[in-house]
């Protein structure tokens, strides 16, 4: 009896590992197709309301060369900061002085009164290298579970414990 039970547990562990590996491979492939290191992000604040809400799941792409225009919704990350920010481009500036053309821009949240200049940590404008991607699609509120798991670690631990327990119990 014990060897059969052990085989079932090992099979369940193998299925879990295969599922996690497949999900990681799909995310990595999506990153390659979209040319974006984070092709899917969750909105963490209400700075883009009423169009984009906290908990919305955003799909990004970052095709190069990418032109950003006023009105484009971008996700950017300031150097030295771990948080990504979802805001709209409100002003673009083309710098023709260098050999390659450099596009710089200013962003602002739709629900904010002022632009993001104070968020840039000393930079005058954002450059393409700071942009994670341009928003291409939105699924409302799907990412709210991610927010709940980050705000309430006990909930995340309970959920993973329940999933592990259900996978280990015999059918």
Q: What pLDDT sits at residue 102? A: 78
Residue in 106, 105, 110 with CA at minimum distance from that of residue 94 = 105
**Regarding predicted confidence, which is higher, 168 or 134?**
134
> What fold, for 38-140?
Umud Fragment, subunit A (2.10.109)
Of the residues 47, 72, 95, 146, only one is catalytic, namely 47
The reported pLDDT for the residue numbered 2 is 58
Catalytic annotation, pick one of 22, 72, 87, 93: 87
Active site residue 116: yes
Q: Is the pTM of this model over 0.75?
A: yes
Write the pLDDT tens digit of every residue in 102-133.
788 899 999 999 999 888 988 888 888 888 89
The pLDDT tens digits for 42-75 are 999 999 999 999 999 999 998 766 678 899 999 9
Q: Report the pLDDT averaged over residues 145-168.
A: 85
Name 75's bridge partners: 86, 133
If one compares 97 and 54, the residue with the highest pLDDT of the two is 54
Q: Where are the domains of the chain?
A: 38-140
Q: Enumerate long-range contacts of 28-36, CB under 8 Å, 24 or more apart.
A: 34/59, 34/60, 34/61, 34/62, 34/63, 34/133, 34/136, 35/61, 35/62, 35/63, 35/64, 36/60, 36/61, 36/62, 36/132, 36/133
Catalytic residue among 81, 93, 116, 158: 116
**Residue-wise DSSP of 29-42:** HHHHHHT-S-SEEE
pLDDT of residue 159: 87
CA distance 110 to 45: 12
How much is the pLDDT for 65? 61
Q: Output DSSP code: residue 59.
A: E
**Average pLDDT, rounded, for the chain:** 86
Residue 46 falls in which region: left (phi positive, over 0), alpha (psi -120 to 50) or beta: alpha
> How confident is the model over 17-37, as a mean pLDDT?
91
**Among candidates 72, 82, 81, which has minimal Cα distance to 122?**
81
pLDDT band at 5 (very low <50, low <70, confident <90, very high): confident
User: What's the rounded Cα separation, in Å, for the pair 81 and 52?
Assistant: 22
**Percent share of the chain, pLDDT over 90:** 36
47 is annotated as an active-site residue: yes
Higher pLDDT: 88 or 163? It is: 88
Taking 70 as the threshold, does the pLDDT of residue 98 lie above it? no
Q: Is the pLDDT of residue 100 over 60?
A: no
């Amino acid at each position: 009896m014990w060897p059969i039970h052990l085989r079932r547990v090992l099979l369940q562990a193998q299925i879990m590992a295969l599922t996690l590996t497949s999900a990681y491979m799909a995310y990595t492939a999506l990153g390659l197709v979209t040319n974006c290191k984070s092709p899917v992000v969750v909105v963490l604040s209400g700075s883009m309301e009423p169009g984009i809400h906290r908990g919305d799941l955003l799909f990004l792409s970052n095709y190069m060369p990418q032109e950003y225009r006023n009105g484009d919704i971008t996700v950017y990350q300031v150097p030295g900061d771990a948080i990504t920010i979802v805001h709209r481009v409100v002003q673009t500036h083309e710098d023709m002085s260098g050999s390659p053309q450099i596009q710089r821009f200013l962003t602002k949240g739709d629900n904010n009164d002022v632009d993001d200049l104070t968020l840039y940590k000393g930079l005058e404008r954002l450059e393409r290298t700071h942009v994670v991607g341009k928003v291409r699609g939105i699924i409302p509120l799907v990412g709210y579970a991610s927010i709940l798991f980050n705000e309430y670690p006990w909930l995340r631990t309970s959920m993973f414990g329940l999933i592990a327990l259900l996978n280990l119990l015999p059918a």
